[in-house]
Amino acid sequence: MKIKAAKAVDAIVKIEVEVDDKNQTNFEKQGAKMLAEQVSIKGFRKGHIPKKMLIEKFGEDVFFDFVIEKFINNIYSEALKEAKIMPVAMPDFEVKSKNPIKIEFKVPVSPEIDLKKAKKIKLNLKTPKITKKEVKEAIDKELEIQTSYTKTDKAAKIKDRLIIDFEGFDKKGELIEGTKAQKQFLVLGSKKFIPGFEEALVGSKAEQDVEFEVTFPKDYHKEDLQNAKVTFKVHVHGVESPSAAKLDEETIQKIYGEKLSKEEFEEKTEVMLLNQKTNQAKKELEEELFEKLLEATEIKIADAIIDQNLSQNQKQLMQQLQQQNKTLEDYIAEFEKQTKKDFAKEQRDQAEKQAKMRFLLDALNKEYDLSVSEKDVEAKIKEEIDKAPAVIKEHVKNFYQKGSQGEFSLKNQIYIDKLFEIFVTTK
């Protein structure tokens, strides 16, 4: 075969292929045999119809279209091998001639990326500080989680826990979708429900029915319920009074799974808060770094790559919506003032950004050798296990087992950490 590959333009390589006489004859012979297996012509046994008869019956265009369809993958593979091209998405192609077969392939390839401007980027990561007040608040929350509850016949008050069924009705007395639940736990004063709901249940008792009206907030996430007056009918199954947990060795062991003094517990809590703040600061800086890297590089990619990313994203989204029993229209409606057209553009822009980021990271990997080794992974897993509370160490170990999503995420984080060492300084 005669194969001619042009220089890449905008991450597209054009390959012109002309099939030689020998391959042309072979493709026609095999194609005729395949077509003969699928059709019947009076006077000929199936599978033994001459090429000449097939062309007379179906015409040259149909015959050669069939041959090209059956062997285009062979032709494309040979062209890639000969031209030493690595595609990154499916090609477009145009049949220039059928006899002899001449095809022009437009092959998406990795774009050439100039990293000169990107290399000059420098960002600063400020080491966060943890105050004694933050440590105390974190410990108070942990103790709140350890709160135990005891059934009581007394009227409910703030901080009591209720077990309730509830239903919400509109002005016409019709049940509002999404406002019904059974056997729900609710701590009064927790502000988990809309304003007015918890307050209306103060004073209620076990096995009591309570009815009241509340007005939904004007910024409520469901537009049809914004500022809506809704009547709730609530059945209180039980009222439970709290017993606050004490900060002692027994409670600390429940939290961390190991015996610690009060001082050691406070130190661990401070370290945990510092890690959380540091990780959050790093995450925010990651986004800033990626944006600046993209701004500093001009990356042209083929539409086929964007289409491929978009298709994958849409497939994942539809699977998630199916699991949640939602339609795409429901999902779009959750975004204020967003039309289907706006949503589609946003999705495509996101797919393009993802593709550009992938090629940019590949280029940076080659430039700085940021590959992640097995030793890197093993060391990071050990670090994660060592800093985890004893009660969840085994869970952490299992979460990062080989081939898991956890291990994949960890490798990605190690890569980003290596990237940080190049572009980010810590103060």
91 pLDDT exceeds 80? yes
33 pLDDT exceeds 80? yes
In contact, 145 and 195? CB cutoff 8 Å? no
273 pLDDT exceeds 60? yes
Residue 285's pLDDT is 93
208 pLDDT exceeds 80? yes
The larger pLDDT score, comparing residue 338 to residue 147, is at 147
In contact, 64 and 25? CB cutoff 8 Å? no
> What's the mean per-residue pLDDT of the chain?
91
Residue 48's pLDDT is 83
In contact, 200 and 210? CB cutoff 8 Å? yes
Lowest-confidence pick of 45-54, 316-325, 332-341: 332-341
66 pLDDT exceeds 90? yes
Q: What is the rounded distance in angstroms from the CA atom of residue 175 to the CA atom of residue 231?
A: 10
pTM of the model: 0.68
Residue 344's pLDDT is 86
Lowest-confidence pick of 154-163, 231-240, 331-340, 373-382: 331-340
> Which of 399, 395, 402 has the alpha carbon at shortest distance from 374?
402
- Paired tokens of 305: 């790559």
Q: What is the rounded distance in angstroms from the CA atom of residue 32 to the CA atom of residue 28?
A: 6
CATH of region 148-243, choose from 3.40.50.720, 2.60.40.1260, 3.50.50.60, 3.10.50.40? 3.10.50.40
Q: What is the rounded distance in angstroms from the CA atom of residue 25 to the CA atom of residue 29?
A: 6
Check if CATH label 3.50.50.60 holds for domain 262-426.
no
258 pLDDT exceeds 60? yes
Q: What band does 337 get if pLDDT is binned at 50, 70 and 90?
A: low
In contact, 293 and 360? CB cutoff 8 Å? yes
Query: In sequence order, what are the beta bridge partners of 175?
Result: 169
43 pLDDT exceeds 70? yes
For the chain, residues classed under CATH 3.10.50.40 are: 148-243
User: What percentage of the chain reaches a pLDDT higher than 70?
Assistant: 99
Task: For the domain made up of 2-108, give the CATH fold.
Answer: Alpha-Beta Plaits (3.30.70)
Residue 254's pLDDT is 85
237 pLDDT exceeds 90? yes
338 pLDDT exceeds 80? no
Averaged over 223-249, what is the pLDDT? 93
Would you list the DSSP string of 61-78? HHHHHHHHHHHHHHHHHH
354 pLDDT exceeds 70? yes
Averaged over 178-186, what is the pLDDT? 94
**DSSP run (H or E) holding 362:** helix 340-368
Residue 336's pLDDT is 60
Query: In sequence order, what are the beta bridge partners of 166?
Result: 181, 234
- Paired tokens of 109: 């390839």
